[in-house]
Structure 1
C-alpha cells in the first residue's frame, strides 16, 4: 500500500517538472503566483425578469392573434408587469380561458372589467421571480465559463459569490481588455426586418413609429480610428433570435479576402429562417447583436438549409471573438464589472521564490533539529517529511487543485505538524524504554498510546480546513487545500510509513537497539 501511494504521487508530480515525460496535467499555479486578471461581476438579474415578462407578452400577442381575440394593447409596465386590454365580451371569455390554460403561473395584480372591455395587470409571483433571478446567475456562470474555455485560458477559477456576483480569476492572461469584452458581451443575436415604409431622418427628428426603433451600425475607420455610426430604422418585433444557433465559425470571403462569421441554425431555426426570407424577398433583414446592427443585407431569395453569414468589416480577432460568444450562447442578463485587478507575472515570480525559500529554510531547520535531537529515529522522521511534501504535491496535481501563495504557507505549516506527530511518538517510545521495555515493545506501546492523540489533533484540524474550503474564497481556499492534503499526508507518513520502517528494522533486520 505504501509503495502504491508513493508511486501514484510520483506519477502525478512528474508532469510539473518534466511536462514531456507524462501527459497528465501539472500543478496549477494561482493568480498570485502566475499573474493574470481578477474580475468581480454582478449579474443584473432583474433584467432577466423583465426579459421573461417581455417574452410572455410576445407569446400572448401571438396566441391572441391565433385565437382571434380582439385586444387593444399588451404592454410591459413598471418593468415587471403586463398590462392587457381586451375588447368585447366574446374576446374576454376567450382571453380568460387562454390565460387559465396557457399562463397558469401568472398572478393577477389588478383587474377592471366592464361590459365591453377588460383591463388586467399580470405579474410573476415572488417565488418564481426569485427562481428566475437565481437561474439567470447560474446561466451567466455557465455561459462565461464556456466563453473562457473557448478563449483558451488555462486553469481559470470561476465561481458564484453571494446571490448575484461572479468571481473570475484568469491566470497568465495578457490581453485583459479583450478578455473583458468577451466576458461582458451579452451576445443577444436578433434578426429584425428594416422598416422601409418610414423615413429614417423623420424618425430621428422625433416622428418615430410605434412599432419601430432606431438602432445604429458602428464601424471604425481603419485609417483615422474614428467610429462611424449609421442609423437604421428597424421593426421592434424580433423575427428570429440566436437561441436556435447550433454553430458559429470564422470563414474568409474568397472575393474580398475578409473574415466573416458563418452561422448554422437547428431544424426549427432553419424552418423559421426559410419562412422569413421567403416572405420578405427584396427587403432588408438587419442582423443585430446587443442592439448594434452588424449588417442589413437585402434578401435576394428564399434561403433554405439553415445557414447565414454575419459580415461587418471584421479583423480576424474580432470575428473569432464574435464566433466564440455566439457558440457559447447569450448571457441571460447583462453583467457589470464591479472590481478589476491585474497581477503582473513578476510579482508571481517573486512570490514563488520567497515562498519556496521560506519553505526550504523552515524544512532544513526542522530536519536538522530532528537529526540532532532524535538521532537515527530523527532520520526516519526526516524521510517521512520529504515523502509528506511529495504526497501533497501529488495530491495538488491529481485533484487539479490550484497552488496559491497562502497554499505555500499551508505546506510550511504542514511540515511543522507532520514532525509534531513524530515527536509525540518518539517521546512515548523514550518513556517506555526508560521503564525497561525492549525496543520492539517500546515501539508498539509508543505508537499505540500516541495514535489516539495524533488522530484527535489532526482530525479537528482537518474539519477546520474543510470548513475553510467550503465557505472560503480565493486565498483562504488555497490555504485550506494544502492544509487538508497536508493533514491526510502527515497522518499517513507518521502512523503508517514510519511504523513500517521501524517494524522492518526491528523484525526483519532484528536490530537490538534504537537510536532515539
Structure 2
C-alpha cells in the first residue's frame, strides 16, 4: 500500500482535532454535573450555580471559561435538549405600505389585498408578488402616483418606470429584511442562550431562530415578534373620557338591540355624568367595584387596592335585594358589562370618575370584545380623532385577570408620538431607589433629551404613557421636568421581564414587523427521553452490527469494526467542530450510516473472497479486491451523497438534521472503510499474521446459487402490480394521514398522569375551540405511544394575525383539558402556518423530482445506456408507491403514527438513495459480466451477475435492517413512523434492485434490439 505514512499522519491529525473538539463536551458535562449535585433538584439553584461559573476557568489546559467551553461543546438539537425552533416571516407588506406613506388609494389597497391572496398560493418573495398583483389589478397605472412622495423624491424620479420603482421597493425591502435580521440576531445574543442559531432562509422573507434549552416561550415570542416600537405619549384624564364612554355604552345598547336608544346622557356638568347607569355599575355588576370603595385619586390604581375592590365586588351580600341579574345588566349596559369604568364613591357618598388616564379595566378574556365594540364605526364616531385607547401590558391584580385601558392623547397630525424609541442610546435593568423594585433605565441622545425635557415640563401634574408595541408599560405622574436624558420605566416587572424589555430597547426596533409562521417547542423532559431512547437504539444497533461483521467475516470483520468505531468518532468530532446540531433524526442518520457504511467493507470483502477463490495469494487478493470494489463503492456512495445533498438543500428542521449527519457520515465512512481497514490489513501482512474474510459458519455461503431472477420477471411484475393497485385503491378510498406540515395547524403532545380515552379528551376540548362566528373546530385527538399520551391537532386561529394567537390557543387547550380533572403536562408543541405548509409541499415535491432527475443523469453518465437510468427510476417509483401504499392502508390500524410530514419526506428520499445505492451495485456487476461474457446469452449473463451479488446484497441489507429495527423498537415514539418508513423502504428497495430494476433493463434492451433489427 502506497503513501501509508501520509494516511497515518492524516488519521492522527484528524483524531487529535476530533478529540480536542469533543473534550469541551466532557468538561461542560463535569461542570453541569457539579451544578446538579449542588442544587439538590432545585432548578433555580442550578441556574444560579451555572451563572456564577460563567467566567470561571474550567478548562485550565487551554484557558477556557465555562461560558467559552459551552459554546464549543457538541451542540444538541432542540429535540434532544428541549427549547424552541421558530421561523419568522418579516412583513415586507408593511415596508411597501410605509414607502407609499400608508396611501389609502383604492387601487393600491386592492393591489395589497391581491398580493396577500397570491402569498397564500406561492413561495415567491413579497415584492415579486406585489409586482404581479399590480400588473393584474392596476394594469397600466404608473407606480410613481403612489410611491413618489416627499420622503422618496430623492430616491426615484417622478417619471420613473414601474420597473424602476419595483427595483427601488426591492432594494428597500431587502435592506429592511437585513436590518430586521441584525436586530433579531442582537436580541437573540442578548437573550443569553448557549449556542443559539439564527439564519436567513434562502429565497424568502423568513428567518430561522433556534434557541436550545429555553423554557419561557412567552418571553421568546415577545422577544422575536415585538417590533420594539417605543413611544412616549401624553394622556387624557379619566374625567374627560368617561362621559364619552357612558354615551357610547348607551349608543351600543341601541345598536345591539337594532334600534337607537331614546336615552341621551347630558354631559354639560360633572353632576349630570353620575346618572342611573353609574349607580347600576357601582352597585349591581358582580364583576365591578363595590360601593364601599373610596375615591382613588392617583394616576395609577395600585395593585393591592384593585385587588381589594375586585374582592369586594364579588361579595354578593353587599349588592342589596334589588340586584339585577348579570344578563339583564349586560343587556342594558353592553360596553360596561365587559369594561368596568374607573368610577368611585367619594367620602361624601357621591360617584365620580377617578383621576389619571386609566378609564377602566377589563378581564383579559373580555378585552377582545371591548376592542370589537370600540372598533364599530358608529362607536368610533363618538370619540375625538385625537383619542387613542390602549391596554396595559400586564395585569394589575393578584389573580392576573384584569388589564387597564389607558386614554392616549394624539396631538400630531401624522399620528406619531411626541417622542419615539429611536432616541434611546442605552437601556438596562436596574432597581428603583425607593423599594428596590425592578425597573428599566434608559439613556437618550441629545435630541431625545431635549424633547423629553420639553414634554415633561409641559405635563407636570399629568401622566405620560410609556408604550412599547402598542401596550402601555407605565403611565407615571410627572412631578417635575426631567433633564439630562436619563429616565426610568417603572412597572410591576420581574427582573427577567425588565431585562427582556431593556434588551429589546438596546437592540433597536424592527424595521418591519416579524410574525412567527412556524414554531416547534420541546420540553426538557421530552428531550431527555429522546436522548435516552436515541442512545439506546444507537448502542443496540452498533453492538449487533459489530458482532455480525465478526461472525460473518472473521478477522476482516474485526478490522471493519475498528473502522466503524473510528467512523463514529470522526462523525461526532466533525459535528462538534462545525457546530452542527445533533438531533434525533441526526442520530437516526448516524445509525443508518452505520448500516450503510458496512456496505463498502462488504463489497471489498466479497471481492477479496472471489480473488482468493480464484487461487490468488492473500496480498494480491486483497490488492485486487480493493481495486475491483472501488467502482461499485464510488457509484453507490455518490448516488446516496446526491440524495443527502438534496435533502440538505431543500429540507428544514428534522429533515435537514438527518441530511447533515448522513452526508458527513458518508465521507467519514468512506475514509474509514477504505483506508483504515487497508492499513490494518497491511500491518497484519507485514507482521506475517493471517487474514480471514470468512468463518467456519459462513465459508462457502451463497455459492452455487442459481435463482432465476430474469426468467421469473413477469411474476415479480404481477406481484408488485397487485401491491400498487391495492395501494391506489386505498389512496382513492382512505387517502393518507397528512400532518400539519402539509395542512397547517398546531399540534400539542400532552401526557397525563394516567391512561386516557381519546374520545373523552376530544369531548372535553369540543366546547373550547369555537370561533367568533360560532363554528366548532373540534381538535383531532390521537393516542401517541402509550395510552397516557395523546397528540392534539387543531386549525383554530391558525390564520389569525393577532400576535397573541398562540397564547389564546394554548389558553383554550388548557381550559378544555382542565375539565378532565387530571394532572397533565404539555410535552411539546408545533405550529405550521398555511403559507409554510404550502411551501413545505412545494419544496418536498421539487426535492423528490430533482433527486430523480439527478440520479437518472448520473446513471446514464456512468453506464452510458439510458436503459439503466430508466430501469433505476422505475424501481424508485415502485419503492415510493409501495411505501405510500403501506402508509395509506395501515394508518389508524398500527399503534403508532403514520403521518405524512417532513420526516416522512426525508424517509422517502433516503429510501430513494438506498434503493439506487443497491441498484447501482447490481448494475455495476451486470456491466462487468456483460464485458467478460460478450458471446453468452444476455439473460443468462445478467442472471449470473445477479446471483453473484446475493452475498453482498444479503449482508448489507440485513445489517441495515437490523439497525432500523433497533431504531423502530427503541428509538422512541417521535421517530417510530420515520423508522418504519425506512424499514419498509429498505426491504422493498432490496427486492426492487434485483426483481424490478434489472428485469426492466432487460426488457428495454430487448425492445431496443428488436427495433434495430427491423
TM-score range, shorter chain: 0.7 to 0.9
Over 3 Å counting, the alpha-carbon distance change for 1:416 and 1:292 in structure 2 is closer
Counterpart in the other structure of 1:65: none
The residue that corresponds to 1:125 in the other structure is 165
- Per the alignment, residue 221 of structure 1 pairs with 396
Which string of whole-angstrom CA distances, capped at 9 and with x for unpartnered residues, describes residues 257-299 of structure 1?
222211223xxx3234325525873336653322334336548
Q: Are 2:423 and 1:383 equivalent residues in the alignment?
A: no
1:27 partnered with 2:113: no
Separation in 1 of the partners of 2:644 and 2:572?
17
Equivalent position to 1:105, from 148, 156, 160 = 156
Q: Does 1:453 align with 2:627?
A: no
2:229 to 159, 181, 188: 188
The whole-number CA distance in structure 1 between the counterparts of 2:660 and 2:639 is 15
Note the alpha carbon deviations across 1:8-59, whole angstroms, 9 max, x for none: 22222233344247554222222222233344444332122223444xx9xx
3-state secondary structure, aligned to 1:257: coil
Contact 1:277 1:299 in 2 (8 A): no
Partner of 1:176: 217
2:413 maps to 1:274: no
- In the aligned structure 1, how far is the partner of 2:660 from the partner of 2:399? 52
Deviations 1:186-205 (A, max 9, x none): 21012345589x95568877
Q: Give the drift of 1:229.
A: 2.2
The correspondence of residues 74-85 of structure 1 with structure 2, limited to 5 A, is 77=105
Structure 1 residue 153 corresponds to structure 2 residue 193:
yes
2:665 aligns with: 486
Quote how far apart the aligned CAs of 1:386 are. 0.6
Pairs aligned (count): 463
What is the 5 A alignment of 1:43-442?
43-54=90-101, 77=105, 102-105=153-156, 125-160=165-200, 163-192=204-233, 212-216=386-390, 218=392, 220-223=395-398, 225=400, 226-235=402-411, 236-265=415-444, 269-274=445-450, 277-278=453-454, 281-283=457-459, 286-293=465-472, 294-295=474-475, 298=478, 300-301=480-481, 303-304=483-484, 306-442=485-621
Q: Report the structure, 1 or 2, having the larger helix content.
A: 2
Q: TM-score, normalised by structure 1?
A: 0.78
Against the structure 1 CA distance between its residues 358 and 220, is the aligned structure 2 distance closer, same or farther, given a 3 Å change threshold? closer
Query: Is the 8 Å Cα contact of residues 424 and 448 (structure 2) preserved in structure 1?
Result: no
> Conserved in 2, the CA contact under 8 Å of 1:80 and 1:123?
no
C-alpha contact (below 8 Å) 1:34/1:345 kept by paired residues: yes
Query: Residues of 2 paired with 1:106 and 1:217: CA distance?
Result: 43
Deviates more, 1:1-10 or 1:461-470: 461-470
Q: Please report how far the alpha carbon of residue 393 of structure 1 lies from its aligned counterpart in structure 2 after TM superposition.
A: 0.9
Distance 1:154 1:231 in 2: 42
Which whole-Å CA distance do the structure 1 matches of 2:618 and 2:456 have between them? 96
The alpha carbon displacement at 1:301 in A equals 4.3
Deviations 1:233-264 (A, max 9, x none): 13234444323433210111112422221122
When residues 438 and 341 of structure 1 are mapped into structure 2, their CA distance, relative to the original with a 3 A threshold, is: closer
The alignment partner of 1:220 has SS state of coil
5+ residue gaps, structure 1: 58-74, 82-96, 110-121
Which sits farther off after the overlay, 418-427 or 161-170? 161-170
* 1:4 pairs with one of 3, 13, 17: 13
Contact 1:203–1:209 (Cα < 8 Å) also in 2: no
Seen in structure 2, the aligned counterparts of structure 1 residues 38 and 5 have a Cα distance that, compared at 3 Å, is closer
The question of whether the paired residues in 2 share the 8 Å contact of 1:48 and 1:133 is answered with yes
**1:515 pairs with one of 663, 671, 692:** 692
> Which piece of structure 1 moves more, 479-488 or 433-442?
433-442
Show CA shifts across 1:318-345 (max 9, x none): 2122112112221223334445443333
Higher RCO (CA 8 Å, separation ≥ 6 residues): 1
SS in 2 for 1:403: coil
**Alpha-carbon shift at residue 424 of structure 1 (Å):** 1.7
Q: In structure 1, which of residues 473, 481, 484 is the aligned counterpart of residue 652 of structure 2?
A: 473
CA contact (8 A) 2:423 2:447 kept: no
How far did 1:485 drift?
1.2
Give distance in 1, aligned partners of 2:107 and 2:199: 29
Query: Aligned in 2, Cα 1:151/1:78: closer, same or farther, shift over 3 Å?
Result: farther
**Conserved 8 A contact 1:40-1:167:** yes
Q: C-alpha displacement at 1:411, in angstroms?
A: 0.8
By percentage of residues, which structure has more strand?
1
TM-score by length of 2: 0.42
TM-aligned CA deviation for residue 493 of structure 1: 0.8
Matches of 2:27 and 2:491, distance apart in 1: 45
- Report the Cα distance in structure 1 between the residues aligned to 2:149 and 2:174, rounded to whole angstroms: 29
Aligned position for 2:25: 16
Equivalent-residue separation in structure 2 for 1:299 and 1:207 (angstroms): 32
CA shift in 2, pair 1:290/1:33, >3 Å:
same
Q: 1:66 aligns to what?
A: none
Q: Which has the larger radius of gyration?
A: 2
Alpha-carbon spacing, 1:170–1:320, altered in 2? closer, same or farther (3 Å): same
In structure 1, what is the equivalent of residue 990 of structure 2?
Answer: none
Cα distance in 2 for partners of 1:272, 1:246 equals: 10
| Cα deviation 1:386-422 (Å, max 9, x = unaligned) | 1111111111111111111211111112112222111
Q: Separation in 2 of the partners of 1:255 and 1:46?
A: 45
Asked if the contact 2:589–2:659 (Cα under 8 Å) also holds between the matched residues in 1, the reply is yes
Q: Is the CA contact (8 Å cut-off) linking 1:217 and 1:295 kept in structure 2?
A: no
SS at match of 1:29: coil
Q: SS at the partner of 1:309?
A: strand
2-side partners of 1:385 and 1:288: how far apart?
A: 60
SS in 2 for 1:281: helix
Partner of 1:70: none
Q: Quote the offset at 1:380 in angstroms.
A: 0.8
- Contact between 2:429 and 2:440, CA under 8 Å: does it hold in 1? yes
Q: Displacement, 1:504?
A: 2.3
CA–CA separation in structure 2 for the residues paired with 1:9 and 1:40: 32
- Cα deviation, 1:172-219, whole Å, max 9, x if unaligned, reads 3222223223322221012345589x9556887757666x44243626
